[in-house]
């Protein structure tokens, strides 16, 4: 059973060895041919006209065009679309969008506007009612305050002096009555003493005198009560009424003002709400009107998807039934027969070009025609689409204005723009690959009298990626080596310039890990192909118990000295050894030995 896989592995190994021998034979032969033939390839320095140019592909675009965009909010379905390439007149229907949802919203909005108008009218009338009520309340409070002040003044200047005078008059009358009663009593006592008056009449006069005396005391007490108590209480009460009515007037004024302000705010809110709802209604009406896009001027219909496309490559062609979103460009409508060429210039060529440079434009569809133009604009930033696809690729959009008008050019045509950077009627030039840079100088290997290449420092100008302008250092018809030796050119990035910075040392763990990996690679590389083949066969014939014991012994040998590194090394060995065991088991299966022998052969190579 084991002899057949061995024979198969031996055959595969033999075939691999033969293939390697064939590969190295042809490789060494090609290197020898290159050494024998490449050393003698020379180019002559020529004199004549030289044009320093840049060739960039581009696209023809109209210079003056109207961009037709969708003005319908959200997404809308195209119901009608004019065919592309149709000449249109001003006012012709270009696109019609579906607005059924907007029309339903318009009906609902009309109802909302009517409700807002009713609320606005109610708020306006309520404001008038609140103003009228506030005016009445303020006038009533002012009248109450005025009455309170008049009552105070009436009592203080009118009623109180009158009452005082009445009490003083009663006192005066009581005093007179008492005086008369006393005089009468005296006469009565004299007449009683002379037996002219009876005792009863005398007592009656004495009683009348007592009564008038009591009346006098009562009148005096009433006057004192009025001055000491009634007057003060009445004044305090009237003054309090004046103060309370004054405060009530102030509260009424503030409350009325607050009610008026609140009613005005409600009216303003209702007015703003009404205006907002009217604006939404007008917006719906405008959206419905915008659903029919008419041509603003005469022109030729060009779909935006056909003219511009999408750099992601997933833009569907514009067609009826397709959904479009707001502000999406739908149609380009050129209004004149003037065109531009839009090209993309690599960042390495930006230093060569500037606005105003002449450009020759060749159209792929018109091979026998050349158009003239000038660079009109160079983008200040690289193209975002190119940067998205390849962050290392920086292309700058450049617009070339084509001179004159043309009825032959069409939007979207492919073209090639030749930017004329420099042009010389008679200069020296040679292939650009003949020049190498070394230590900041341009060097060419010129064939000397003995037929050997000799390095010479030259001065060169601009190049057009094919020929380079020679300013000095060479003469016409001198032969220059086409394939300079590689050791002659030294890149500036490989110059040994030391930095004024200290290089931090490598961490110990990383160094130990690298040393372990290097040791393992060294052990694997020190094995010969025959030893590796024998080891693989031995592993394939082992039982599961023998393989596990071998792995355990290998882990013990790989165990580090320190306790910290023990865990890390053991985890790495446990992750690595099962994969090695699985690989060995797969090599022991029928048809799996070729991979191991192939890897052994590659390591030997």
Closest CA to 251 of 381, 140, 345, 351: 140
Give the dihedral sign, CA 431/436/440/446: negative
- Return the pLDDT at 498: 56
Closest CA to 105 of 274, 273, 281: 281
Q: Which residues of 221-260 are buried (b: 16+ CB within 10 A; e: fewer)?
A: ebbeebeeeebeebeeebeebbeebbebbeebeeebeebb
pLDDT grade, residue 203 (50/70/90)? confident
Which stretch of DSSP H or E encloses residue 530? helix 529-541
Q: How many C-beta atoms surround the C-beta of residue 163 within 10 A?
A: 18
Q: Please indicate whether residue 568 or residue 595 has the higher confidence score (pLDDT).
A: 568
pLDDT grade, residue 288 (50/70/90)? very high
Give the dihedral sign, CA 240/241/244/249: negative
Which CATH number applies to 102-290: 1.10.10, 3.20.20, 1.20.120, 1.10.287?
A: 1.10.287
For residues 514-519, give the mean pLDDT. 56
pLDDT grade, residue 274 (50/70/90)? very high
List, in order, residues 6 or more apart from 398 with CB less than 8 Å away.
56, 342, 343, 344, 345, 353, 375, 377, 378, 379
For residues 68-87, give the mean pLDDT. 90
Q: How far is CA 100 from the centre of its chain?
A: 33
Give residue-wise pLDDT tens across range 104-114. Answer: 999 999 999 99
Give residue-wise pLDDT tens across range 313-330. Answer: 446 788 888 899 899 989
Q: Which has the minimum average pLDDT: 177-181, 225-229, 250-254?
A: 177-181
Backbone angles phi and psi of 597, in degrees to 5: -70, -35
Question: At residue 333, does pLDDT exceed 90?
Answer: no
- As a whole number of angstroms, the distance between CA 97 and CA 502 comes to 69
- Return the pLDDT at 486: 65
Question: At residue 125, does pLDDT exceed 90?
Answer: yes
Question: At residue 585, does pLDDT exceed 60?
Answer: no
Closest CA to 39 of 478, 455, 453, 488: 453
* Token output for 511: 């160094």
For residues 138-154, give the mean pLDDT. 88
- Return the pLDDT at 234: 81
* Nearest 10 degrees: Cα torsion 430, 433, 434, 438: 130
Q: Please indicate whether residue 563 or residue 480 has the higher confidence score (pLDDT).
A: 480
Q: How far is CA 436 from CA 24, 37, 432, 441, in A?
A: 31, 20, 9, 8
Decide: helix, strand or coil at residue 340.
strand
In CATH, what is the architecture of 54-99+297-423? Beta Barrel (2.40)
- Return the pLDDT at 150: 86
Tell me the sheet residues that pair with 358.
374
Domain residue limits, the chain: 54-99+297-423, 102-290, 527-533+543-548+571-588+595-605
Question: At residue 514, does pLDDT exceed 80?
Answer: no
Which stretch of DSSP H or E encloses residue 370? strand 366-378
Per the CB < 8 A criterion, the answer to whether 265 and 161 are in contact is no
Percentage, residues of the chain above pLDDT 70: 77
- Return the pLDDT at 20: 80
Closest CA to 269 of 106, 108, 122, 107: 122
Q: What is the mean pLDDT of the chain?
A: 79
Tell me the sheet residues that pair with 468.
430, 463
* Nearest 10 degrees: Cα torsion 469, 475, 476, 477: -120
Per the CB < 8 A criterion, the answer to whether 469 and 424 are in contact is yes
- Return the pLDDT at 506: 53
Give residue-wise pLDDT tens across range 445-460. Answer: 998 888 888 889 999 9
Question: At residue 437, does pLDDT exceed 70?
Answer: yes
Question: At residue 545, does pLDDT exceed 80?
Answer: no
For residues 442-446, give the mean pLDDT. 90
- Return the pLDDT at 177: 78
* Nearest 10 degrees: Cα torsion 515, 517, 523, 525: -110
Tell me the sheet residues that pair with 424.
50
- Return the pLDDT at 212: 77
* Token output for 84: 């592309």
Q: Residue for token digits 């005396």?
A: 213
- Return the pLDDT at 569: 45
Q: How far is CA 231 from CA 148, 153, 154, 162, 224, in A?
A: 16, 13, 13, 12, 10
Decide: helix, strand or coil at residue 562.
coil
Question: At residue 67, does pLDDT exceed 50?
Answer: yes
Q: Please indicate whether residue 82 or residue 533 has the higher confidence score (pLDDT).
A: 82
């Amino acid at each position: 059973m084991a002899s057949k896989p061995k024979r198969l592995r031996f055959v595969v190994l033999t075939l691999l060895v033969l293939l390697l021998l064939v590969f190295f034979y042809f490789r060494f032969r090609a290197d020898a041919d290159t050494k024998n033939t490449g050393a003698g390839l020379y180019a002559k320095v020529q004199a004549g006209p030289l044009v320093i140019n840049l060739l960039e592909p581009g696209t023809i675009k109209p210079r003056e065009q109207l961009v037709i965009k969708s003005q319908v909010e959200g997404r809308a379905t195209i119901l009608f679309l004019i065919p592309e390439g149709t000449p249109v007149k001003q006012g012709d229907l270009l696109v019609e969008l579906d607005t059924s949802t907007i029309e339903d919203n318009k009906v609902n909005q009309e109802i909302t506007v009517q409700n807002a108008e009713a609320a606005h009218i109610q708020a306006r009338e309520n404001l008038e009612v609140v103003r009228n009520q506030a005016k009445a309340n303020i006038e009533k409070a002012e009248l109450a305050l005025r009455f309170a002040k008049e009552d105070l003044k009436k009592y203080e200047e009118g009623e109180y002096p009158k009452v005082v005078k009445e009490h003083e008059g009663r006192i005066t009358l009581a005093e007179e009555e008492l005086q008369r009663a006393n005089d009468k009593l005296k006469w009565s006592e004299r007449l009683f003493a002379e037996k002219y008056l009876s005792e009863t009449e005398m007592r009656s006069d004495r009683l009348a005198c007592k009564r008038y005396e009591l009346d006098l005391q009562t009148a005096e007490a009433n006057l004192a009560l009025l001055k000491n108590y009634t007057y003060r209480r009445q004044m305090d009460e009237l003054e309090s009424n004046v103060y309370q009515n004054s405060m009530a007037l102030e509260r009424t004024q503030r409350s009325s003002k607050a009610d008026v302000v609140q009613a005005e705010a409600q009216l303003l809110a209702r007015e703003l709400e009404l205006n907002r709802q009217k604006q939404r209604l007008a917006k719906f009406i405008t959206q419905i009107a915008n659903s029919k896009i008419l041509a603003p001027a005469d022109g030729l219909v060009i779909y935006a998807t056909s003219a511009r496309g999408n750099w992601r490559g997933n833009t569907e062609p514009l067609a009826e039934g397709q959904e479009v979103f707001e502000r999406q460009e739908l149609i380009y409508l050129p209004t004149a027969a003037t065109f531009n060429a839009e090209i993309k210039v690599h960042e390495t060529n930006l230093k060569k070009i500037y606005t105003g440079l002449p450009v020759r434009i060749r159209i792929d569809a018109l091979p026998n025609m050349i158009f003239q133009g000038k660079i009109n604009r160079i983008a200040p930033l690289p193209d975002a689409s190119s940067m998205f696809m390849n962050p290392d690729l920086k292309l700058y959009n450049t617009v070339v204005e084509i001179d004159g008008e043309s009825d032959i050019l069409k939007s979207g045509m492919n073209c090639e723009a030749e930017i004329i950077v420099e042009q010389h009627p008679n200069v020296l030039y040679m292939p650009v690959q003949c020049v190498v840079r070394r230590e900041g100088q341009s060097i060419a290997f010129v064939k000397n009298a003995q037929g050997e290449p000799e390095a010479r420092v030259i001065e060169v100008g601009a190049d057009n990626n094919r020929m380079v302008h020679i300013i000095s250092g060479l003469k016409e018809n001198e032969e220059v080596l086409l394939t300079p030796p590689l050791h002659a050119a030294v890149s500036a990035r490989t110059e040994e310039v030391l930095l004024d910075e200290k290089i931090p040392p490598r961490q110990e763990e990383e160094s130990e890990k690298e040393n372990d990996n290097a040791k393992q690679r060294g052990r694997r590389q020190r094995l010969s192909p025959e030893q590796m083949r024998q080891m693989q066969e031995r592993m394939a014939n082992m039982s599961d118990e023998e393989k596990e014991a071998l792995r355990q012994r290998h882990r013990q040998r790989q165990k580090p000295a320190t306790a910290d590194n023990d865990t890390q090394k053991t985890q790495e060995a446990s992750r690595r050894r099962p994969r090695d065991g699985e690989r060995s088991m797969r090599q022991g299966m029928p048809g799996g030995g070729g991979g191991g022998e192939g890897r052994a052969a590659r390591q030997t190579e």
